Every structure is written in C-alpha cells, then in structure tokens.
C-alpha cells in the first residue's frame, strides 16, 4: 500500500481533499509509511520474545480495518486517522515478521530468499493501482478501497496460515533497543545512511503521477508510470539479491542508492513520454534493489540472529523517520514553488536526489569501517 499511495495522492487532490495542499495530503502516506516502519521497533522485540502469532493476527485486523474505515472517510482528519495511523500500525505489525521469519531460515542464500519474498511488495504495487483506478472510475474511490481491503484480507490470511517462527523465543534479558549494536561505529553510521536514503527515496513514488500530468502527459500514461516503477522493482528485488549472495549485500546497496539519487536528479530533465517511462522503470529497478538487500545488510553488520528482531526494528525506525520527513517536505517545496501558471517539481526532486546521494556516501563509509578497502564479499 505504501507503493500505491501515489494513486491516492492524485485522487485526494482532485476529490475529497481538493482543498488541502500537496504537502498536507502527502502527510497521510508519510505517516502511514513512518508508522509501518517505526512499529517494527516494538514488534521486533515481541517477535524475539515469541509473540509472533499475536503480532501478525492483530496486524492483519488493523490493516484491513483501517482500509475499510478509510473508505468511509470524507474529511482530512478521518483519512489521516484511518489510512495514516490504523493502516500504518497494522502494516508495521505485518511487515517485520515477513522479513524476520525468512531471514532465520536461510544462511548461504539468505539474500536471494529475502529478495524473492520482497517481490510481494512490488506485485502489490502493480495490482493495487490497477484495481483502485479501474474501480474508482466505475464504483467510486470508497468502494475501490473496500475491494482492496478484501484483497488484503485474503492474501494476509494465507500468510498467517503458512508462516512459522524457527528460533526459540527469548522472553527475558532482550532489550527493545540493542545498545551494544549502537556502540558499533559501522552500525551507527548505517542507521544515519538509511535515514538519509529514505528521506528522498519515496518522493518520486508519491508524486510521479502529478509530475506527469504537469508536463502534459495523458492521464492514462501518468497513471501507468507508477505501475511501471513497481514493475521495474520486481527484477530489482530478485536479480541483485542473487548477485548479493556472491559479492555481498553492501556491495549491491551502495551503487543502487547512488543510482537512485542520480536518476531522481535526472528526472528533472525528463519532459517526454519516453524519458519519463525510462526514468520510472530504472528508478523502480534500483529502488527495488535497495528494499531487497536492506534487511540482509542488518544481518551482515550484526550477525547475532537472536538479536535480529531488535536490530531490524532499529533500522526500520530510522528509515521510517526519513520517510516521515521526506515526502511532506517535498510537497511543501512543490507548494512553495508552484503558482497559477503551473506546478513546479524541480526543487522537490533536487531535495530528494541530494539526500539519496548523501546516503550512498555514508554507506560507502560504513563499508570501509566494517571491512576496509579490501575487495571482499561485504
């Protein structure tokens, strides 16, 4: 649903929230993403302590309930509570076990396994926009949102049925925040790098449709650009993960983050249909790589699997804080630069690209601290 919020951004700005600014509307998606990731801190602790089934069951209920109440909302505060808060918390309770459980079942090909699991996010980012757009045109956005809620319910029940924790629980002595890991310079710098990367990473996902419409692209193609981005992230989550098992996850993530920043900056000069399609596909490709190898990098930096939930939780909290800031600030820049003559995006894209590139520099420093300048698997 995070990858799909660009559809809601466009629908809300011309529908029930047409009186709200782009920045105000983007707060809904950013809060949803922030809570999805920040809740991982608490839920990572719960999973390590053996409360997997309680966590994922409550998460499924909140995610579906939030979507259903979103379909009934018609004011800004109602949408931000239902879609931003309730769906965000539910998604966080679902998200952390989805990556933690897979990581504990594999060792030599952990990156490939986690990359394959992560393709679900990309496939959802293809299916949900189509469902929302088509049904919103025929039945209206409320009923389209309810249908998405029912799809979520069906797929999530399958996950609850088949997922099984492997490691024995640790019910005592396990901290919510792994202070020992924070004393490690490499892991501390990793958290800063993740924050910088996620400040800018989702800005194009939120505003791609609005950008395309602003330069005269047809509404149909503008809509499909988000799907193209999510489609590009499918191979981006699989192929780099397989390569990462050979060369190391950090060796994949650093160039992926760098190229994401470069493509975001290059987007400023994309004023044709072919240029937009290329930018959307390749940004989806490299951003998918980041998402796929992100959890496996935590295992590389902190190999103690018994603390995996806490370490993943801290990483997700940091990335969520970046997401919370990034898109609203970009929306505020768009509101500031735009006028009656048109919507201006170059400031927001420059802001996003600069933060992503800064993240790649910090990741490089993190790798050097961990393994030095040696050409080794890392």
User: Tens digits of per-residue pLDDT, 123-135?
Assistant: 888 889 889 988 9
Q: How many Cβ atoms are within 10 Å of 156's Cβ, its own excluded?
A: 19
Q: Give the per-residue pLDDT at 258.
A: 96
**Rounded distance, CA 60 to CA 38, Å?**
17
pLDDT of residue 59: 93
Does residue 169 have a pLDDT over 80? no
Whole-model pTM: value is 0.83
Whole-angstrom distance, CA of residue 318 vs CA of residue 321? 5
Indicate the pLDDT class of residue 374, thresholds 50, 70 and 90: low
Share of the chain above pLDDT 90, in %: 32
Q: What is the pLDDT of residues 326-366, one digit of tens each?
A: 988 998 998 888 877 778 889 999 999 999 999 999 999 99
- Span 49-67, pLDDT tens digits: 788 889 999 999 999 999 9
Q: Is the pLDDT of residue 193 over 80?
A: yes
In this prediction, residue 200 has a pLDDT band, given cuts at 50, 70 and 90, of very high
**3-class secondary structure, 74:** coil
Q: CA–CA separation, 286 vs 269, rounded Å?
A: 19
Quick check: helix, strand or coil at residue 363?
A: helix
DSSP string, 263-318: HHHHGGG--SHHHHHHHHHHHHHHHHHHHHHHHHHHHHHS--GGGHHHHHHHHHHH
Chain centroid, CA 211 distance in Å: 20
- Between 236 and 191, the higher pLDDT residue: 191
Residue 26 has pLDDT above 80, yes or no: yes
For the record, the structure tokens of 292 come out as 């796929």
- Per-residue pLDDT at 174 exceeds 60: no
Average pLDDT across the chain, whole number: 86
Cβ–Cβ under 8 Å, residues 62 and 9 = no
What pLDDT was estimated at residue 343? 81
Specify the pLDDT at position 176.
67
Average pLDDT over residues 303-311: 70
Instruction: Indicate if the pLDDT at residue 214 is higher than 60.
Output: yes
pLDDT at 6: 80
- Residue written as token pair 């894209």: 349
Q: What is the pLDDT confidence band of residue 117, given thresholds at 50, 70 and 90?
A: confident
The pLDDT score that the predictor gives to residue 88 is 93
């Amino acid at each position: 649903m995070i990858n799909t919020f660009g559809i809601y951004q466009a629908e809300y700005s011309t529908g029930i929230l047409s009186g709200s600014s782009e920045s105000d509307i983007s707060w809904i998606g950013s809060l949803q993403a922030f809570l999805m990731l920040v809740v991982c801190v608490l839920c990572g602790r719960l999973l390590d302590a053996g409360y997997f089934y309680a966590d994922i069951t409550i998460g499924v209920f909140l995610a579906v309930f939030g979507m259903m109440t979103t379909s009934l909302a018609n004011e800004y505060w109602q949408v931000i509570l239902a879609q931003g808060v309730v769906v965000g918390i539910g998604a966080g309770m679902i998200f952390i076990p989805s990556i933690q459980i897979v990581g504990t079942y594999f060792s030599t090909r952990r990156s490939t396994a986690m990359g394959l699991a992560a393709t679900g996010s990309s496939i959802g980012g293809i299916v949900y926009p189509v469902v929302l757009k088509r049904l919103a045109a025929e039945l209206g956005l409320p009923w389209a949102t309810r249908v998405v809620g029912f799809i979520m319910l069906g797929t999530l029940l399958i996950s609850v049925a088949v997922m099984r924790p492997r490691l024995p629980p640790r019910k005592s002595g396990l901290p919510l925040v792994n202070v020992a890991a924070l004393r490690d310079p490499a892991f501390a710098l990793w958290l800063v790098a993740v924050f910088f990367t996620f400040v800018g990473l989702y800005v194009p996902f939120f505003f791609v449709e609005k950008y395309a419409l602003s330069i005269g692209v047809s509404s149909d193609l503008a809509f499909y650009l988000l799907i193209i981005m999510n489609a590009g992230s499918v191979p981006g989550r699989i192929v780099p993960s397989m390569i990462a098992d050979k060369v190391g996850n950090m060796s994949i993530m650093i160039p992926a983050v760098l190229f994401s920043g470069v493509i975001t900056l290059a987007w400023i000069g994309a004023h044709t249909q072919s240029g937009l399609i290329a930018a959307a596909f390749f940004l989806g490709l490299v951003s998918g790589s980041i998402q796929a190898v992100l959890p496996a990098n935590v295992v590389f930096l902190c190999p103690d699997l018994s603390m995996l939930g806490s370490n993943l939780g801290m990483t997700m909290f940091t990335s969520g804080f970046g997401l919370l800031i990034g898109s609203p600030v970009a929306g505020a820049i768009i509101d500031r630069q735009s006028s009656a003559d048109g919507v201006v995006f170059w400031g927001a894209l420059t802001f996003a690209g600069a933060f992503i590139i800064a993240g790649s520099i910090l990741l490089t420093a993190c790798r050097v601290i961990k393994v030095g300048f040696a050409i080794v698997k890392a």
